[in-house]
Amino acid sequence: MSQTTSPTRVAPARPPSGWPLGHARYRNYVLFAFTSVFMAIASVQLLLGVRALADGPEAWQGYLGSMSSGPTLALSWVVLAFTVYFTIRWAWLTRKIAVGRVGPIPGPGLPLPVLFVGVLGVFVAGFVVTLLVLGGVL
């Protein structure tokens, strides 16, 4: 005895309405992912600066001159804004990950806002140390 069943009808796949900017969660996720473009721009700027340092004083002065032009300064401010957004958003995500307990593992010992401020503080301290290293202070 063979039993034949009809396949379950399934609606065709479609993106949510207004994708990718129709919902606040989608917008935040797209903006968070878009920060990678500006992180890449900052990385290229940094690598060009390191190469200019290796090429000598004239190349370094040329690099500093190019970095002080109006469009590059505006781009640097945009990169800074996206970097700050990325840092705050990443620290906020880590705060949400630590919620609750899993099996016999106890929950976090500190209140979650304290953990958020702690993670954000580590990011800021790392940023300051990186700037001091790049600036030649350390």
Quote the pLDDT of residue 114. 76
Place of tokens 């106890």: 106
Quote the pLDDT of residue 122. 87
The CA distance from 65 to 49, in Å, is 11
Quote the pLDDT of residue 41. 92
State the average pLDDT for the chain.
82
Quote the pLDDT of residue 3. 62
Quote the pLDDT of residue 73. 92
Task: Enumerate residue ranges in the chain where pLDDT < 50.
Answer: none
Quote the pLDDT of residue 66. 92
Domains by residue range for the chain, with CATH: 24-98 (1.20.1300.10)
> Rounded to two decimals, what is the model's pTM?
0.58
Quote the pLDDT of residue 116. 74
> Integer distance in angstroms from the first to the last C-alpha of the chain?
80
